[in-house]
Structure 1
């Protein structure tokens, strides 16, 4: 067996990187295996035209030849590997782009130990590092074999795009999970899984985000009553709208409007 060669390892923080002033990294071609364990939530990347969520407890495996970019900002542990052994390459190539791991702490310990060994000149370091890399590969293969709920499902981007378009255009309607699933011809349970895997949130959470965004616009730019805005943004009642709005922003709709108006008057 030819052992993998580690060309890079450590903790990456995009907010202090060369891309700190950008919202997204440039699209690039992957030249070696890139394995990343994410430390935070709410960001995503694009790998071969598929949106991949960056969430705690997920590992991304980007293969040579893939095209990828990332939405900032996020942090992750990373390993860059050159692999020439045919069996190891086959094992890595068989892994999905993104996996949910069963024991995040164990993976963090592995990534940290490999990263600590990477720059060392100690003669024993390469041997231990190789052993840890093989252990990591074995763990990832085990995660893949578990499948079920643990592996993030792959789905065509046009399915997700259709669902998002329906939500963006019909947010004022009474949209349920079942209705959205029917629009893309998927079982509701499966649709819920693939949407969350692709977008980092559930379909109904995305719907709520869109509704709140439109409500903010109307509160800032119109004199319509809060009750009117609630109905026009798809909320079933004034009280429900106020509850959801406060949860999302920390403010009541009226307080949000008053503060927005003060800022506007001050800037004018």
Structure 2
């Protein structure tokens, strides 16, 4: 393995940074290419048929250009719809992102958990399967919130985010039957951990779980024994002109180069 071969992170926007962060902690010298399909953003409002074609095609272009050692679909929506398609299309390992329903069920005492994601993610049969396998004794309340995706993007761009807007985006989930008993919330969109502090302020009695740390451990396992360069490098590429306001946030994650694909 060429030590300079990067890890490729893929998302529709900046949500995948919540997976990149813990990966950087485990693999500090890993070269990173972060790809945002900003021209297709937000994925939560696109059809399953469209994403099943778009995601593997884009990943194939990115793999051909950057020659990564491994690809991470750092997006719950894209993973639940297109992960199998991407794995069939690529010859490198592909790590997906799925809702952290198992750890949420293990943590819950009330046996009522919430799955907070995009509209596309929460309606997927994959979520049904995870709930049946790991939370069969729980009431699983689902809620899709496109507003939170937009708020996370805005926060990373340096715009002020109000706690009231966070509360209003999540409140419909808590108002569902048995919602008042919910004690654990699955952040089933990689954008949402970027709002973890605001969500905790809006709903202090509900614990949060997400898959970022587990995904980072999986990446470290799959690249175990491989060589890394002496110093880390990082670049971000966007499928539409990147917003200048995001450059500061990207730099904080070690993505000092920003380009349009």
Give the alignment's TM-score, normalised by structure 1.
Answer: 0.24
Give the alignment's TM-score, normalised by structure 2.
Answer: 0.25
Higher relative contact order (CA 8 A, sep 6+): 2
